Amino acid sequence: MIVPINKPVGWSSFDVVKKVRKITGEKKVGHGGTLDPFAKGVLVIGIGRDSTRQLSYFSNSTKKYEAKLKLGSETDTLDLTGKIINEMNIPLIRKQNIKSIFSEFTGYQKQIPPMFSAKKIKGVRLYKLARQKKTVQREPIQVFIKLLELIDYSSNSINFLVSCSKGTYVRQLGSDIAKKIGTVGHLTELHRIQA
């Protein structure tokens, strides 16, 4: 059985898997694409051996998110759960500037995975190294941004919609957008609305 679950903020993807195992009594339970604990939204769950084998279809699919980017401060995790490591002034931003910057991020591009991520380097998850205050060289990975659309903005935040390929870190995208604007930033909200 394949089930879409609306993951709440504060739960890890594995927390949801554990809860489903407990409710169903089924040992073979998996998910089709990790969602950070600070994020909420669609998490595809497979229950049973046959269903968990089908999860790669969902994890490889295009996903859509709504995100809120706070400008002027950067955290070590690139989201609101981290410690502020950098602050910068925010230049005056205009709608046309944001749209122009967004157009630079659509299509194929290389993205360096953030240190606070579940990606493995030599068998060790990056976030485990990051918690030990270690930084390692990460190879850029190719991602595809199908759609990047402005929802609204203020003098210090930008709300956007993004449709992207597997392996895209929306936190990293937010940080990269802030840098293009001429400041730093981190995500305060992330909502997966489609998988």
Question: What is the pairing mode between strands 40-47 and 2-7?
Answer: antiparallel
- The DSSP secondary-structure symbol of 54 reads T
pLDDT computed for residue 182 by the predictor: 97
**pLDDT tens per residue across all 195 residues of the chain:** 999 999 999 999 999 999 999 999 999 999 988 898 999 999 999 999 999 988 888 778 899 999 999 999 999 999 999 999 999 999 999 999 999 999 999 999 999 988 888 778 888 888 888 888 888 888 899 999 999 999 999 999 999 999 999 989 999 999 999 999 999 999 999 999 998
pLDDT computed for residue 116 by the predictor: 84
pLDDT computed for residue 144 by the predictor: 97
Task: Spot the catalytic one: 36, 76, 79, 176.
Answer: 36
Query: What residues form DSSP beta bridges with 5?
Result: 43
Is 36 a known active-site residue?
yes
Q: 118 to each of 32, 113, 114, 171, 179, how far by Cα in Å?
A: 14, 9, 9, 13, 24
pLDDT computed for residue 189 by the predictor: 98
Cα–Cα distance, 168 to 163 (Å, whole number): 10
pLDDT computed for residue 83 by the predictor: 95
Q: What is the pTM of this model?
A: 0.92
Question: What is the pairing mode between strands 185-194 and 40-47?
Answer: parallel
Task: Check if the beta carbon of residue 86 is closer than 8 Å to that of residue 73.
Answer: yes
Cα–Cα distance, 47 to 23 (Å, whole number): 11
pLDDT computed for residue 161 by the predictor: 98
